[in-house]
A and B are shown apart, each in its own frame.
Chain A
Amino acid sequence: MSAALLSFALGYAQIALALAACLAGWRTLRGPRAQDRVLGLETLYVQAMLLFLVTGMVTGTHYFFEAALVIGVMGFVATVALARFLLRGEVLE
C-alpha cells in the first residue's frame, strides 16, 4: 500500500518537475528579451535541482543530494552574473 502510494507520488513529482523544466527552457529559448531568458534559466536550474532531489529519493543514494547542492550554487552564481551583466553591461568592475 505505502509502496504503491510512494512510487505514484515520486513518479508524479518527477514528471511534473521535468515538465516544469521544459516550460522554463521554452521561456529561456523564446525570450523575448534578455531578462526573460535569465529568468527562465533561473527557474530551469531550480527545477533541475528539485528533480535531482526527487531522483535521490527514488534511488535512495545521497549522491543526488550533493549534485543538487552543486547545481544550486552554480546556478545562483551564473544567474547573478548574468543579471549583473544586464544591469551594468559588464560582469566585473
Chain B
Amino acid sequence: MTGFQDIPLWIAVPVALFLLLGSTLSMLGAFGLMRLKSFYDRLHAPTLATSWGTAGIVLASILLTSWLQGRLVLHDLVIALFVMLTTPVTLMLLGRAALNRDRAEGAPLPPAMPAGEDPPAP
C-alpha cells in the first residue's frame, strides 16, 4: 500500500469503480456456475468472468500502474486479449464434448442436427 495517498481522486474513483465492477461480475459468474441447474446453462456463467470481469480488473490495473509508474503501462492488455480469445475455444470444446456424451447416452435434450439443406422452420 505504498504511495496511495498521492493519487488524485480522478484516478482513484475510476480505478475503484472498475475494480468493483470486475470483481462483482466475476463473482456473479462463479455464483451462477454454482447455482444454475443444467450443464448448458452453466456454460454461460464463466463468460461473465472472462468478458467484463477481466476487462474491469485489467482497466483498473492499467490506470493504477500507469499513474504509479508515470508512463503508460499496457501489458495487462495481453492478459485481457488472451483470456477473451482462449475462453471461447475451451467453452466450445466443452459444449461439443457435452453434446457428444449426452447423445451417446441417448439423453433427450440436445437435438440432433437436421439432415439435408433445410433450415428448421423459424
Interface residues of A (CB under 8 A from B): 1-3, 5-10, 12-14, 16-17, 19-21, 23-24, 26-27, 33-36, 38-40, 42-43, 46-47, 49-50, 53-54, 56-58, 60, 62, 65, 68-69, 72-73, 76, 79-80, 83-84, 86-87
Report which of B2, B9, B23, B86 forms a contact with A2, defined as CB distance below 8 A. B9
Number of chain B residues whose Cβ lies closer than 8 Å to a Cβ of chain A:
60
Q: Which residues of B contact A27 (CB under 8 A)?
A: 33-34, 42
Q: Determine chain B's interface SS by DSSP, over half rule.
A: helix
Q: How many angstroms between the C-alpha atoms of A68 and B81 in the bound complex?
A: 13
Q: Determine chain A's interface SS by DSSP, over half rule.
A: helix
Q: Which residues of B contact A8 (CB under 8 A)?
A: 16
Q: How far is the CB of A47 from chain B (nearest CB, A)?
A: 6
| A3-B7, A16-B27, A23-B34 given; A46·B46 CB < 8 A | yes
